[in-house]
Amino acid sequence: MASIASKELAANTPGLHTSPDETNKGYLVLQTMFQIKDPKISLDFYSRILGMLLKRVAVPELKFTLYFMSYEDVSLDSSDPVDRTVNHHSYALHDQEFKGYQTRNSEPLDSGHIGITLDDTIKACERFQRLGVEFSKKQLLLLFMPSLSISFVRYAFIKGPNGYWTEICDMTTIGAVVR
Amino acid sequence: MASIASKELAANTPGLHTSPDETNKGYLVLQTMFQIKDPKISLDFYSRILGMLLKRVAVPELKFTLYFMSYEDVSLDSSDPVDRTVNHHSYALHDQEFKGYQTRNSEPLDSGHIGITLDDTIKACERFQRLGVEFSKKQLLLLFMPSLSISFVRYAFIKGPNGYWTEICDMTTIGAVVR
């Protein structure tokens, strides 16, 4: 029979830490990223069938476009539904030179990942460094998004178990990109 | 240079539908699912490094355990942080007979997917059927989670472009499983 532990104890859950570090306060799971082959087909499915809204970031010089698909967050103070989509979103990468899907377990690994937003990426990265966390990327966004008119984009990727990546990004950056 | 369309128009975005169907109101992206090989290593990373909280659902008769990792939703009315984790979560599947990772593009496809919660799975599925959406699974949860003491679990998987699956589930079911 299936069993649910209503409250998990570190004692019977090897690896689990039940008292999050102070610096983890305010962390929020924000995005899920995946690759798409044909935007027309994917946009039709996620908008017509599932009713998601779209924010798009095109980076022609690198021949790819990001499609941020998500639902409206009615708790956000805005009259424009599209301005209220800075809640959790699925974010699809379309590479104009699509070479097939990348798995999460072989190179290149710049594919599926989850994204976490927080207040201070720099502080978080300093802590990850102290904890011996492996970084996949750091502040790369600066290099290819000069037109976002963001003075300083803070963003990093850390490598987790099983080869999964986790993106770390300031909420201010998320706002600038998605709004 | 990167360019951001502040508001997307269907006219210049093939496949995009900008007026979501009435029945899509209240949809919410809730989960991201991925496989893990060793819970001890993954739980350590997501709880100690990233500070996530855990809800666990063990299904010994099917030899797998689900680990719901997420952050506390302070907007939920509860004094217990662990009771407030029904916000977006990453959910890891550990198969005791781990046979390597499943990609999203070859059989078996019961692997990575995003999850969407809504009010009425039955109504939603009827609409998906009318729209010719392909189903991967339907209400399977009933079969292997008898101990959840849920009178009727509504849940389905539909197949999207690129082979990605999307799980559709009632919020009542989510609450019963995660709380």
Residues A35 and A91 in one domain: yes
Question: What value, to the nearest 5°, has the Cα angle with vertex B54 and ends A52 and B114?
Answer: 20
- The range of the structural domain enclosing residue A54 comes to 31-95
Q: Which one is catalytic: B61, B72, B134, B167?
A: B167
The reply to whether A131 and A172 lie within a common domain is yes
* Residue from the list A2, A25, A47 with its beta carbon closest to the beta carbon of B58: A2
Whether residues B161 and A37 touch (CB distance < 8 A) is answered with: yes
Give domain status of residue B104, yes or no.
Answer: no
Quick check: A95 and A109 in contact, CB under 8 A?
no
What DSSP string describes B23-40? GGTT-EEEEEEEEES-HH
ipTM (interface predicted TM):
0.75
B78 and B129 inside one domain:
no
Looking at the structure, do residues B81 and B122 belong to the same domain, yes or no? no
My answer on whether omega of the bond before B20 falls inside 30° of 0, hence cis, is: no
Q: Using CB atoms and an 8 Å cut-off, which of residues 33-52 of chain A contact chain B?
A: 34-52
Q: Residues B41, B90, A66, CA angle at the centre, nearest 5°? A: 115
Same domain, A73 and A124: no
Of B64, B95, B126, the one marking the end of a domain is B95
Q: How many other C-beta atoms can be found within 10 angstroms of the C-beta atom of residue A132?
A: 7
The dihedral through the CA atoms of B154, B140, A14, A16 has a sign that is negative
Q: What tokens does B39 get?
A: 């819970």
Q: How many domains does chain A have?
A: 2
Whether B73 contacts B85, CB under 8 Å: yes
Same domain, A72 and A128: no
Give the residue-averaged pLDDT of A81-107.
62
In a domain, B56, yes or no: yes
Asked whether residue B86 falls in the same domain as residue B120, the answer is no
Tell me the residue length of chain A.
179
Length of chain B: 179
Q: Are B128 and B88 in the same domain?
A: no
Are A118 and A172 in the same domain?
Answer: yes
Distance to chain B for A169, nearest Cα, Å: 13
What residues of A are in contact with residue B76 (Cβ under 8 Å)?
Answer: none
Is the CB of residue B129 less than 8 Å away from at least one CB of chain A?
A: no
Assess if residue B9 is contained within a domain: no
Q: State the CATH number of the domain containing residue B141.
A: 3.10.180.10
Please give the order of strands across the beta sheet that includes A134-138. A134-138, A155-159, A165-170, A113-118, A28-36, A89-95, A64-70, A53-59, B3-5
3-state secondary structure A61-125: HHCEEEEEEECCCCCCCCCCHHHHCCCCEEEEEEECCCCCCCCCCCCCCCCCEEEEEECCHHHHH
> Quick one: residue A100, left, alpha or beta (phi over 0 = left, psi -120 to 50 = alpha)?
left
Contact B46 A8 (CB under 8 A): no
Residues A42, A73, single domain; the answer is yes
Min Cα–Cα distance to chain A from B9, Å: 9
Mean pLDDT of chain A: 71
Distance, CA of B142 to CA of A164 (rounded, Å): 30
Instruction: Check CB contact under 8 Å for B14 and A45.
Output: no
Same domain? For A82 and A42 the reply is yes
| A5 within a domain of the structure (yes/no) | no
**Residue B99 CB burial class (10 angstroms; 0-12, 13-18, ≥19):** exposed
Q: Is B140 on the interface with A (CB under 8 A)?
A: no
Q: Average pLDDT for consecutive 10-residue bins of chain B (179 residues)?
A: 59 84 78 82 88 79 79 67 60 70 51 75 84 73 44 70 79 54
b/e map B106-143, b = 16+ CB within 10 Å: eeebbbbbbbbbbebbeebbeebeeeebeebeeeebee
B22 is catalytic: no
Q: Distance, in angstroms, between A154 CA and closest chain B CA?
A: 17
Q: Please report whether residue B7 resides in a domain.
A: no
pLDDT tens-digit series, residues A121-172: 778 888 888 888 888 765 544 433 445 444 445 678 888 877 778 888 776 6
Is there a domain that residue B109 lies in? no
Residue B101 lies in a domain: no
Could you report the per-residue pLDDT of A5-64, keeping only the tens digit for each?
Answer: 546 788 888 888 888 788 777 777 777 877 788 889 888 988 888 888 887 877 777 777
Query: Is residue B108 a part of any domain in this protein?
Result: no
A4 lies within 8 A of chain B by CB: yes
Is the CB of residue A148 less than 8 Å away from at least one CB of chain B?
yes
User: Model confidence over B143-157: pLDDT tens digits?
Assistant: 334 444 444 456 788
